[in-house]
Amino acid sequence: MNISALSTLFLRAASHVLDLEGGFVDNKSDKGGKTNYGISDARDGKKDGLVDLDNDGKGDIPPQKLTKEQALEIYYKEYWQPCRCGELPPAIAIFLFDAAVNHGVATACKMLQRKLNVLADGKIGHITIKAVNTKNLDELLINLLTERAYFYHAIVQANSSQAVFLDGWFARLFRLSQFINSFSQPPQPV
């Protein structure tokens, strides 16, 4: 994959997510298992100590050996494209991409679809895209950020062992909203 040929929007969003996710983490409380650049061992449905690079359901390399370039390729093919982020307004694309990396594509898409009052099937299609384009984007974004905050709270309600991540999750939402806001502001004259 030619990384430099990817859209500026994707590269900026991916850089932000890479910054949020950081490098290799092996937290025993993390249900995703060992994770590097936000790509978890369990992403392929198995905790086998290996990351599936080619999406064939079989682990290929230990998470700690995953490179940023490989993570970017996974981000693009498995999160950005399935969410059709390139067809959405930048603020919504960035939100949806970050949510997809953090919660999975179907969950992220359903969050958006519920806020749009369209069928929440977890797949972005022309009806969802059309609905996004009829909404006040600032209001939609606030509703989406709030939905995610409630989602994090529900995770902890269902499993109190996940409370250890709550501060980090809320910090992620704050940083995401700041990034989206800075991204959408025109450059200031010097």
Cα 48 to chain center, whole Å? 23
Overall pTM surpassing 0.95 (yes/no)? no
Among 32-36, 38-42, 60-64, 98-102, the range with the most confident prediction by mean pLDDT is: 98-102
pLDDT tens-place string over residues 76-122: 999 999 999 999 999 999 999 999 999 999 999 999 999 999 999 99
Type of residue numbered 132: V
Q: Which domains does the chain have, with CATH numbers?
A: 7-81 (no CATH), 88-184 (1.20.141.10)
Q: Is 160 exposed, middle or buried (0-12, 13-18, 19+ CB in 10 A)?
A: exposed
The CA distances from residue 25 to 22, 74, 163, 165, in Å, are 8, 18, 17, 13
